[in-house]
Each structure stands twice: as C-alpha cells, then as structure tokens.
Structure 1
Amino acid sequence: MKLLILFLSVLVLFVWLGLKIQNDPGYVLFAYDQWTIETPLWFVIAATVIFFILFYIILQFLIRLGNVATQFRTWAQQRRLRRAHERTSRGLMELAEGQWKLAEKNLLKAVQYTDMPLINYLSAARAAQELGEHERRDDYLHKAHLAMPSAEIAVGLTQAQLQFNHHQLEQALATLRRLHELSPKHIYILKLLQNIYLELRDYENLETLLPSLKKLKVLPGLEFDSLQQKTYIGLLKQAEKSHATEMVETVWQRIPKELQQEPSLLIVYAKHLMKEKKEVMAEQLIKEALKKHWNDDLVSLYGLVVGEYIDKQLSHAEQWLRLHGENPALLLCLGRLSIQNSLWGKARSYLETSLSFSPSAETYSVLAQLLEKMGE
C-alpha cells in the first residue's frame, strides 16, 4: 500500500514536471575553466532520477548479498553445531558402553564446535582415566577449566572422583579441601571428603567433619550413626596404639554421652581399661550399659572382666537368667564367672547348657580348659 502511494506520488510529480517543461524547457549550464556544457533541464532531471534508481538497486543488491553471506555463515555454524552435538552424543554413548578410545576421539573432535565444551572435556577426561592416560586426563581437566572458569566446582569434583577411583587419595584430598574452602556447604564435596578420610583412616579430620555432615544431613540417620561409631572407634584404637593412656581418656571424654553407651565403642574402651588394670571401672561400665541395652558381645566381655567382688559379679549376672535364660552368650559368661569363683560344677553346667543352645569354638575351648582343671 505504501509503495503504491509512493509510485502514484512520483507519477504525479513527473506529469507536473513534464507539463512545466513543455511550456518552458529551460536549460542547465555547467562551466569549469574553459569548458562549458549546456543541456536541457529535463535531461538533468531524468539523469538524476535514473542515477538514484540505479544507486538504490545496487545498494539493495549489496545488502541482499551481505544477508546471503550472513545466512550462509549462520547455516554453516548451525550445521557444524548439529554435527558436534551428534558426535558428542555418540561419544557419551561410547563412554557409557566402555569404548574408551572411540569415546575420547569423538568427544575431542566435537569440542571445537560444540556450545558446551566443558561436557566434552570432562567426559574425555573420564575416558583417558580408563585408558590409564593420566597426563591426558589432567590436560583435559585443565582445558575444561579454561573453557568455563565459572565451573570450577564441577571440574574439581570430576578431578577428585577420578583421582579417588585411581587410588590417588592424597591428590584427591588436596583437590577436595580446595573445593571445600570454595563451597563449605556443598553436600557432595562433604560426602567425598568423608569417604577419603575413611580410606586414609584420618579419624581426626573425620571427627571435625561430623558436625557439618549431621547439620546438612549428608547421610541418612543410620548411616551417620555408623560413621560416628567408626570414627570414635578408630580414634580410640589409634590412641591405644600410641601407648598413651591419657590420650585414650581424652578421646573417650570427647565422645557424646549417648554414644558412649554404644556396645561397639564401649567394648573398645572397656578392653583398654582391662589392659590398664582398671577392671573394676570396666565392670561397672559394662554393667550399667547392660541395664539400658542388652548386648551379647558386652555380656561375653562381662564374663572376662574381674570386678572388685567376683562373687557379687556372678550373683548379679545370674539375675539376668530370668529374662535371658536361653542366651548362649550369657551362659558362657556365667560359666567363666563360676570358674573365677572356683565353682567347677556350676561352671560346667552353664557351659554345657550354652553349647546345647549354640555350639561355638570359644565355648568348647573354655569347657575343655575347665575339664582339664577337673582332671577329666
């Protein structure tokens, strides 16, 4: 519609000019130095119009030519991007299938034209790891970081995982500590740190990690409880190996009160007390713990500890028969306590009853030693 109006306007203008020129043709004179050119006015007007029309046509042609070039470049880029996506998909599939060489090859071929080179480099690093090419792995990880500096956590986690899988525990730990400084509340970083501390038996650092693991709920409840027990058992055993009694006591006091009642921890600590000739204290600890929670391992240990009054210890243990009369561990405990009280017949009866419920090499061994004492 606009073009039609423009065309009609130009047509009217030309008709009007034509009528004017017919009445008075006029002329245009061009002079330069000694040269002069005289031409009719209508010729100048026509030439000017033709010039502008040609200029417009050429300009439009050049613009369209530029658009075609731009469209071609866009098409070529999209084609390269599409092919890069196809190669990346193929490489990721080959990585999942365990075809490490092919995966690495396709992922690297696509990296130049893909819009997410980070994925290609990280995946290529995994493939190189599986091929045992650790220098190439580290090179790809470095390039991944250069490709997207903002993805430091993603690159670092991949590096730590690969180092951990290759049993490069110290290197993985260094990587994770750096990441932990960058993101102290990152759940997966905390979980990997926990795994490495366990592998390295670094219970001191694992203990410092426990509050964060609990607060951020990195592990399910039961799994966290198990980890907590492993941590303090490890600390107790390491302190005991150092032959420093005060260190064991220090660790024990650091353990939360409710956790001190856990049989696995209590057994380690009670055995330490027995080695240190603090059996009275050990006997009291075990007895108090059994009042709250029955545990066969604690009962068995109670039969080995020598309390202040061994006769009262036997009498106390015999009270448990009312609730646990058919418990093999309790009967073994009573057999041992009877031996310590020199009650051979009673000891034999307890041990044989225990064997009738659950034959065990340990009970047979105690009974054999008893029979030897009795001359049988």
Structure 2
Amino acid sequence: MMKSILYFLGSLGLATLTAFVVSKWLSGFDNPGYVLIGIGQWSLETSLVFFSVSLILGFFAFYVFFRSLGWFLRLPKQITTRSKNIKFNRSQEALIAGLVDSAEGNWEKAETVLIKHASHSGAPLIHYLTAARAAQSRGAFDKRDEYLKKAADQAPGSDVAIGLTQAELHLSGHQFEQALETLTRLHSIDPTHATVLKLLHQTYQQLGDWEGIRKLLPALNNNKILMEAEVKLLETEAFSELLKQASEKDSSEEIQALWAEIPAHIKRMQGISAIYFAAMINAGAGAEIERELADVLSVNWDQTLLALFGSVQSNDTFGQLQISEQWLSRHPDDAVLLTILGKLCQKCQDPQKAEFYLSKSIAIDPTVQAYQLLGDLYYEQGNKDKASECYKNGLELASSEIAKDINALS
C-alpha cells in the first residue's frame, strides 16, 4: 500500500513539474499563441499555455483514473488469491504440525488439525492418510474408514497408495480378511508391485492360507521380493503345511496329487518326505508307498522314516521283514531297526528271532515300545513273570521320560 502511495505522489509531482516547465517555456515567447477548437456551433478559444498545462494534467488524471479502475476490477480476484494463499500456507503448517503430533503419539490432536485444513492443502491425500493412521492408533476404525474414503474422493488416481495404507492398517488391526480383499484388488491392478506382494505374503501367513502362498511363490521369486534362501524356506514351509492339511482329510488321492506337484528339490529336504509318508500311512495307504519308502531309506538313512516303515501295514509282511534284515548288515547297532525287526518277526510267527532282536534293541537303547513288544511276546508264550517285568521296566522308563520333560519345562 505504501508503495502505491509513493508511486502516485511521484507521478503527480512529475506531471506538475512538467506542466510548470512547459508553461514557463511558452510564457517566454512574445506571442505565446492561442488554441481555437470548434465543434458545430460551439467554439473554445484559450491560450496555448493554459491548453498545454491542461493537457498534461488531464492526461495524468485519465491515467490515474484508468489505473485505479483496473485495480478495482482486479481487486476481487486478488482478494480470493490472497485468501487461498493464506489457507494454503496454514494447511502446510497444519500438515507439519499433524506429522509431528503423530510422531509424538498425540493421535487425536494430529487427526483434528490434519482434517481441519485438508481441503485447502496442496496435498490433501497426505492429510487424510496420516489422519487415518492417527484414527487407527486410537482405535477409531469408523473414522479411519471415513478418512480413507475422503482420500479416495480427493485423489481418484491414487488407488494403489490409498489401498496400501488401508491394507497396512487392516493388518495392524488384525483384520486379515479385509486386508486380503484390498490386496487382491491391488494385485489385479499391478501384479508386480513389490509392497503389494510382500503384504499379500504376510496376510496369507496370518490366515494360514498356504495354498495362496504356494500360488504367490513364483511372483515373490521373480520380482525379488524375498531372498532366494527365504523363498526356498517359505516354499518348504508351504508344502509341509499343505501336506499336513491334506493328511487331515484322510484322502490318499489328494495327498498323492499334491506330492506330484512338489518340486524335486523340496522332496529331498529333510522332514518333507516324512510328512508325506506319514500322511499316506494315516490315510490307510501305507502299502502303496512301502516300496518308495524303502527306496528312500536305502539312499538316505533316517530314524523317522525307519519308524514309519515299521508302522506300514504291509500286504507282504515277510517281504517287509526281508528288506529290513538287509539293512541290518549296514546298521547292526540301530536300536530302532532292531525293534522293527522284532515287531515284524512277531507278525511272521517267529518268536525266537523276535525275542533276539527286541532284547538286543533294549540292550543298546531301551525304549518303551521295545519293552511293550517284548512283554507282549512273553505273555503270548505264557511267561507272565517275564512279561510283567518287561511291562514294569517300560512303565518306569516312561515315567522317567515324563519327569525329564517336566524338569526341562520348569
């Protein structure tokens, strides 16, 4: 305002000085002249000095008038622009204050200041998303969803950014089904988005959806979301859990179909094949995998697989015994193998060999199962004293194992 006043006074002084100089200059002539203007029946006659001065001052007056008129015409727009600038600056200050309050844990205060100035901000999306996080942190889920909806209305082209925030908030609020719904939609929009894939992986794990993880594994690997070792570990875990789920259905066809889909390098991992063979045995299809299980044991000697082989209800018990005795030459002091041999000999009606194998197993490493089997053998032979002794030793061993477990937990 002061600048405009100075500009006006300067222009007025210049015009007055010009008029004074012109009048002095013209007055210096002997005949300063005159001006005659005629319009129809009207005429105007005046001195050249007066006319020149009037012309200079009139030009200044018209100039000031039109400048003032232009200023007045522009005034409403200037007021609107200035008002917008003030609101914009306030919104920026509010955004900074809201972010600081959020960082300090002042959720309600942050939410209030962010929403108040969101409509005037140059980045309303940040206002609403930060306010949604603040509302989530104080447990106001209805407000959170309201702010996310407003964010979508204010920034229609930011579906992925809004969706990711929504999914993260659902995950932190243990709303896994809602998170999965949002992430599935985002995945259809951008199947290679790193954060979407990572959050999908986390959501599937929380839901125990191992089939979903199995289908997601190629994308996680191809887009380098996880390290190669992490992908292999996740792949192993996924197929393990899927095999366990299939075993609960007692469907050997479903278990075998899943096993056929598992990559060879996963099948070779320790523990995976044990889950498969155990599932098939529990489904009543042990005879179908007996030969395959024996082949695996011939290459990879494993106590768990050996125990599973001994639990197979074979259609050819004598053949099962022959295979087991072939292993004895390479593993003569394996207590588990000796127990299995004793069990199979008992099934094959060979009590003498059964007693030999079971006694040797107990001498190497006594187990409750070996005592139980030997006690049953003595009982069938009518030797109740020896049977009672075996049962007693088995109970004492079981009790000591339980006591050890309790001490380990305490």
TM range (shorter): 0.7 to 0.9
Within 2, Cα distance between the matches of 1:126 and 1:256? 42
**Counterpart amino acid of residue 314 in structure 1:** S
**Counterpart amino acid of residue 230 in structure 1:** E
Say which SS state the counterpart of residue 36 (structure 1) adopts.
Answer: strand
Within 1, Cα distance between the matches of 2:36 and 2:298? 127
Q: How does 1:80-229 map to 2 (within 5 A)?
A: 80-94=90-104, 97=105, 99-229=106-236
Query: Which structure 2 residue ranges, 5 or more long, are not aligned?
Result: 1-13, 347-353, 379-386, 390-410
1:254 corresponding residue in structure 2:
261
**Counterpart amino acid of residue 360 in structure 2:** S
Within 2, Cα distance between the matches of 1:52 and 1:352? 127
Q: Deviations over 1:291-332 (max 9, x none)?
A: 55554433432343356523333334435538xx6xxxx533
Within 2, Cα distance between the matches of 1:287 and 1:57? 108
Task: Describe the shift of the 1:280–1:123 C-alpha distance in structure 2 as closer, same or farther (beyond 3 A).
Answer: same
Q: Are 1:302 and 2:309 an aligned pair?
A: yes
Say which SS state the counterpart of residue 37 (structure 1) adopts.
Answer: strand
What is the Cα deviation at residue 115 of structure 1? Answer: 3.0
Within 1, Cα distance between the matches of 2:46 and 2:294? 129
Q: Is 2:22–2:52's contact at 8 Å kept on the other side of the alignment?
A: no
**Counterpart amino acid of residue 96 in structure 2:** E
Query: Highest Rg: 1 or 2?
Result: 2
The correspondence for 2:323, drawn from 310, 313, 317, is 313
Q: Are 1:236 and 2:243 an aligned pair?
A: yes
Between 63-72 and 226-235, report the one with greater CA deviation: 63-72
Q: Deviations over 1:73-92 (max 9, x none)?
A: 58735641452243223232
Q: Is 1:263–1:298's contact at 8 Å kept on the other side of the alignment?
A: no
Task: Describe the shift of the 1:365–1:51 C-alpha distance in structure 2 as closer, same or farther (beyond 3 A).
Answer: farther
Within 1, Cα distance between the matches of 2:108 and 2:337? 62
Q: Is 2:251–2:283's contact at 8 Å kept on the other side of the alignment?
A: no
1:344 corresponding residue in structure 2:
355
What is the Cα deviation at residue 141 of structure 1? Answer: 0.6
Within 1, Cα distance between the matches of 2:229 and 2:127? 38
Q: Is 1:180–1:190's contact at 8 Å kept on the other side of the alignment?
A: yes
Within 2, Cα distance between the matches of 1:280 and 1:151? 58
**Counterpart amino acid of residue 87 in structure 1:** A
Within 1, Cα distance between the matches of 2:109 and 2:298? 64
Q: Is 1:141–1:159's contact at 8 Å kept on the other side of the alignment?
A: yes
Task: Describe the shift of the 1:118–1:295 C-alpha distance in structure 2 as closer, same or farther (beyond 3 A).
Answer: farther
What is the Cα deviation at residue 247 of structure 1? Answer: 2.4
Within 1, Cα distance between the matches of 2:34 and 2:112? 78
Task: Describe the shift of the 1:108–1:134 C-alpha distance in structure 2 as closer, same or farther (beyond 3 A).
Answer: same
Q: Deviations over 1:338-374 (max 9, x none)?
A: 332242233233245335xxxxxxx334434434543
Q: Is 2:168–2:179's contact at 8 Å kept on the other side of the alignment?
A: yes
TM-score of the two chains, using structure 1 as the length reference: 0.77
Query: Which structure 1 residue ranges, 5 or more long, are not aligned?
Result: 1-6, 356-362
Q: Is 1:332–1:351's contact at 8 Å kept on the other side of the alignment?
A: no
Q: Is 1:344–1:370's contact at 8 Å kept on the other side of the alignment?
A: yes
Task: Describe the shift of the 1:251–1:265 C-alpha distance in structure 2 as closer, same or farther (beyond 3 A).
Answer: same
Task: Describe the shift of the 1:33–1:141 C-alpha distance in structure 2 as closer, same or farther (beyond 3 A).
Answer: same
Within 1, Cα distance between the matches of 2:359 and 2:126? 71
2:86 corresponding residue in structure 1:
76
Within 1, Cα distance between the matches of 2:34 and 2:326? 138
2:45 corresponding residue in structure 1:
38
Q: Is 2:274–2:305's contact at 8 Å kept on the other side of the alignment?
A: yes
The correspondence for 2:29, drawn from 19, 22, 27, is 22
What is the Cα deviation at residue 251 of structure 1? Answer: 1.7
